[in-house]
Structure 1
Amino acid sequence: MEDTAMPYVALALRLTLAGVFLVSALMKARSIGDTVAMWTALLKSVRLTGGGLARAASWTLIGVEAVTGVALLAGGALSTPALVAAMVLLSIFSALAMVAARAKLNVACACFGRAAAPLGRRHVWRNLVLLGIAVAGVAVQVDVPLEAGGIAVAAGAAVVITSLTAFYDDIVDLVGGA
C-alpha cells in the first residue's frame, strides 16, 4: 500500500468506529427498555439489583458511546484520545461478553438497541475485531491534507462496515452461526 493511502485508511478506521458508537448510542436510546433490561440482567448476575441502577448505567453508556463517536468524528487532536476511549470501551464490552459466555448468563444483547441474541461468544469476536480497528487506527494516524475523492471512499467503507456491525447478530443468525 502506498504511503498516500494511509491517511485514508486511518480516516476509514476512525469513521467506522464513530459510526458504530453513534449508531449504537442512538439505537440504545430508541430502545431504552431493551437496554435497561440488558443492564438489569447483567447487574443481577453480580447480585446488584434495582431498576434505577440499570437505567443510570444504560444512559451513562449511551452518553459515553455518543461522546466517543463525536470525538472520533472530530478528529484532529481528539483522534488519539477518542481511539483510546474506543479501545477501553471495546475491551470492557469484550470482557462482559466473555464473562456472559463462560457463565452461560441469560442476557439478551441490546448492543445496538433491540434485544437480540444472548450475549456471548459471537459478541466477543465482533468486539475484538472492532478493538483491532481501534488499535490499527492509532497505529496508522497520519496528519496530511485529504482529497475529496479519498474522503468519500473512506466514508463509504465506514458506512458498509458500520452497517455490517450493527446487523451482525442478524447476519450470524441468517447464516446459521452460534
Structure 2
Amino acid sequence: MTYLEIACRCLIGLTFAFAAASKIIGRGAAAGFVATIRELRPLSRGTARLVAAAVVAAELTVPALLLAPGTARLGFLLAAALLAAFTASIVAVLRRRVSVRCRCFGPSGAPMGPHHVVRNAVLALVAVTGLVAASTGPAPADPGALALVAATAGVVAIVVVMLDEIVDLFRPEGLSPRSR
C-alpha cells in the first residue's frame, strides 16, 4: 500500500459514499433520483425504482470495499465499472440533446453536460490508478503523512461533489440553470 493508493481510496470512497447518501437522505431525494433514472431511459416506475436501488447499493458497496486493504482492488474495479456506466448514460443524454438534471450528488438544477463526462473520466482514472497502486509494497508508516494524504483527498472529494456549483459560478449571467 502506498500513499497514492490511500489517496485514491479516500477520494473514491468519500465520493461514492456522498453520492449514495445524497440519493437517499433528505426530503424527496430518492423520488428525485428515480425520476432522473426514468428521464435517462424510458422505464416503468417500478423498474426505475429497482435500477435506482441497485445504483445506490453499488455506490455504498464501493467505500465498504475500499476500507479493507484485502478488498480495495475489488472496490476500485467496481468504482471504475460504475463510472463507465454512468458516463455512457451521460453521453447518451448529450447525444439525444435532452435536458436531464444531474442527481449524482443529490438534488440539483444543473443539467447533465460535458463537465460530468470529464469528471467521471477523471474519477475513473483515479480508480484505475488506485487499482494499480493497490498491487504495490507495504503500508506507509508516517501518521502525519497519512493524515495529510487523507485530508487532501477529502478536499478534492468536496470539489468533485460541488462541481455543478463551481461550474455554475463561471457561467455567463442568465445561462445558469438555477436562474431559469
What TM-score does the superposition give when structure 1 sets the normalisation length? 0.88
The question of 1:42 aligning with 2:40 is answered yes
Structure 2 residue corresponding to 1:59, chosen from 48, 53, 66: 53
Structure 2 residue corresponding to 1:154, chosen from 143, 149, 159: 149
Q: May I ask how many residue pairs the two structures share in their alignment?
A: 168
1:3 alignment counterpart: none
Q: CA deviation at 1:81?
A: 1.1
1:69 alignment counterpart: 63
Deviation beyond 6 Å, 4+ runs, structure 1: none
The residue identity in structure 2 corresponding to 1:64 is: A
Q: CA deviation at 1:52?
A: 1.2
What is the root-mean-square deviation of aligned Cα atoms in Å?
A: 1.6
SS at match of 1:77: coil
d(CA) in 2 for partners of 1:111 and 1:52?
20
The residue identity in structure 2 corresponding to 1:161 is: V
Contact between 1:34 and 1:115, CA under 8 Å: does it hold in 2? no
1:33 alignment counterpart: 31
Q: CA deviation at 1:173?
A: 0.6
d(CA) in 2 for partners of 1:149 and 1:116?
40
Contact between 1:10 and 1:140, CA under 8 Å: does it hold in 2? yes
d(CA) in 2 for partners of 1:107 and 1:62?
19
Q: Which moved more, 1:20-29 or 1:52-61?
A: 52-61
Unaligned runs of 5+ in 1: 1-5
Pick the structure with more helix per residue: 1
Structure 1 residue corresponding to 2:169, chosen from 167, 174, 177: 174
SS at match of 2:139: coil
The residue identity in structure 2 corresponding to 1:34 is: G
Unaligned runs of 5+ in 2: 176-180
What TM-score does the superposition give when structure 2 sets the normalisation length? 0.87
SS at match of 2:70: helix
Q: Which moved more, 1:137-146 or 1:18-27?
A: 137-146
